[in-house]
Amino acid sequence: MTGRILAGALALAVVAGPAGAGWLANSLADGDFDNSDYQAARDAGATLYDGVDPALGAMAEWANAETGSTGTVEITEIGEGPCIRLHHIATIAAKGKTVEANGRRCQGDDGRWLIAPEQ
């Protein structure tokens, strides 16, 4: 039940947020992703840019032993700002399907990487 509540809150936050920001949250709300899958995908992506210089083509893999879901995330573009584009591929074990999506993050003046609207 907690996962459904969190998923609903996340989906609402995404609707109000930047376009393209919520494919993981939408998968969560649809019951595709478990909360722990979402966290694993997000954490894997963060290893590519948080505290390190992002590199074009850098890739991270994730696997959730709890659910059996797996995925990859790759930096496919580095732009000004600095901003990066990430490409996610996730295999959702419970649904037997694979989803792909792109996301964009930009580094703020305070050094934090924030979800940014697609351009």
CB 102 within 8 A of CB 84: no
Structure tokens given for 31: 């019951």
Q: Three-class SS of residue 41?
A: helix
Average pLDDT, the chain: 78
- DSSP character at residue 17: S
Structure tokens at 17: 């947020």
User: pLDDT for 43-61, tens place per residue?
Assistant: 999 999 999 999 999 999 9
- pLDDT band for position 6 (50/70/90)? very low
What integer pLDDT is reported at residue 23 of this predicted model? 57
CA dihedral 83, 78, 54, 50 (to 10 degrees): 20
Higher pLDDT among residues 89 and 38, named by residue: 89
Q: Are 108 and 114 in contact (CB under 8 A)?
A: yes
Q: What is the pLDDT of residues 13-39, one digit of tens each?
A: 232 233 344 555 665 556 667 788 888
Task: Please give the structure tokens belonging to residue 37.
Answer: 């899958």
- For residues 61 and 18, what is the distance between their CA atoms, to the nearest angstrom? 25
Per-residue pLDDT at 29: 58
How many residues in the chain? 119
Would strands 83-92 and 59-63 be described as parallel, antiparallel, or unpaired?
unpaired
